[in-house]
Amino acid sequence: MKDLLEVDIAIVGAGPVGSAAALSLANISSSLKIALLDREPSFALPPDELDLRVFAINSGSRSLLEQLGVWAHIAGRRACAYQRMYVWDAEGSGHVEFSASELGVDDLGHIVEAGIIQGGLDELISKTANIDLLRPAEIEHLTVDETTAEMVLKNGQVIRTGLLIAADGARSMLRQQAGIPVIEDDCEQQAVVANVKLEKAHENCAWQIFRPTGPLAFLPLVSPDPDSESADRLCSIVWTLDNAVAEQVMELTNEAFEDRLQKAVESRFGKVELVSDRVSFPLVQRHATVYSQKVMALLGDAAHNVHPLAGLGANLGFQDVWVLRQELERAHRRAIPLGHPQILARYQRQRRLDNQLTLKTMGLFRDTFADHGIWLNAIRNMGFKVFNEFSPVKRFIARHALMSKNLAQSQSPETHS
């Protein structure tokens, strides 16, 4: 067949999760041939540009990136370690504060721009001999059977593989073509995202206020110019708003937007100055009913798309990578086909329930803070107070959130045999 590329694993979607999967699986054995495809060019950043899209990377995800050799690139560019997290309710006096010192750790995580993570992954992929990176590459036709997946690209090239991994995002084309149903929860909200400069320092703290219109987060960033006066005053904002309110906010002039934002955060940081464009995107939680079908597996947002309330999206995707790597490493060692249904079923069992619990928890948080009845406000603030003062429970929950258990345990595949 003309222009046929036969590989052991084909991954569609070369964003952070798909790229991390390619590197992780390539490390199983140099004999494994991997194709990584994406329809878009890379979104890696030039050194002096700030990205609008940021990830709150927990220690488990950092462990994965360290093992892949990517973290050194990230830390050498920009990664803002935050030592505190402060959450409060705009309709009461309740608040919760987490600190790294209280938990006995160096930090609670890192706020990292997506483009910086992507740049590190791209650099390593370009040096990995058993990964073929094909971008831009648009799939024209897909067939998947019990043993093989075949993709015909628009340029006529054919990719044939024994395992197809869909890491092509929340609106996954591969998932749709496979006919895998999705449970969808339209939040009827949008997230407004921008970068801002504060009058007061962010104190390496992640701040979040729950307002009647939705939560507003200020996430600390590292400046491209560490010697500038704004080096410790840059933040990424993620402002969740009902659709109608979001549309109004997006239409404001920059000055009116800054004024509204400053009032929304109760002037905690003094004057707030917009230093980027504003973008908004609809908030829709999605969860695939199954994570695998025949020789295809879903990874990251293609399997689960979570509300940005707790910044968990990328971390859940990196956990998927970790577990899938464990299962495929075991299969390769035992000469089991990588796309064998039992292998992919083991991956699904370990990840789907955990992700489902996270999605339900985020939905519960969203609904709790969306209700503004006087009694619920009082109960909510009392809950904040009790939770903040009951250190053992707070430490337990914080450690669970900061350390993804699958990554942190660093288990070998044999421990699940």
- What is the residue-level pLDDT of the chain in tens, covering all 417 positions? 559 999 999 999 999 999 999 999 999 999 999 999 999 988 887 777 899 999 999 999 999 999 999 999 999 999 999 999 998 887 766 678 888 888 788 999 999 999 999 999 999 999 999 999 999 999 999 999 999 999 999 999 999 999 999 999 999 999 999 999 999 988 899 999 999 999 999 999 999 998 887 889 999 999 888 777 778 999 999 999 999 999 999 999 999 999 999 999 999 999 999 999 999 999 998 999 999 999 999 999 999 988 775 566 789 999 999 999 999 999 999 999 999 999 999 999 999 988 888 777 766 655 555 545 444 444 445 444 544 444 554 454 555 555 544 444 444 333 332
Which residues, listed in sequence order, are joined to residue 112 by a DSSP beta bridge?
55
DSSP β-ladder status, 158-161 and 292-293: unpaired
Which residues, listed in sequence order, are joined to residue 287 by a DSSP beta bridge?
183, 304
Is residue 23 classed exposed, middle or buried when 0-12, 13-18 and 19+ CB atoms within 10 A define those classes?
A: buried
For residue 196, what are the contacts with CB-CB under 8 A and spacing of at least 6?
218, 234, 235, 236, 237, 258, 261, 272, 273, 274, 275, 276
Residue 413 backbone phi and psi in degrees, to 5: -55, -30
What sign results for the dihedral spanned by CA atoms 20, 25, 29, 35? negative
User: In the structure encoding, which two tokens stand for residue 171, read together?
Assistant: 């609106």
Contact predicate 188/242, CB 8 Å: yes
Residue 72 to residue 65: CA distance in whole angstroms: 9
Which residues, listed in sequence order, are joined to residue 159 by a DSSP beta bridge?
5, 151
Domain 4-79+112-184+284-373+404-412 in CATH 3.50.50.60: yes
pTM tops 0.85, yes or no: yes
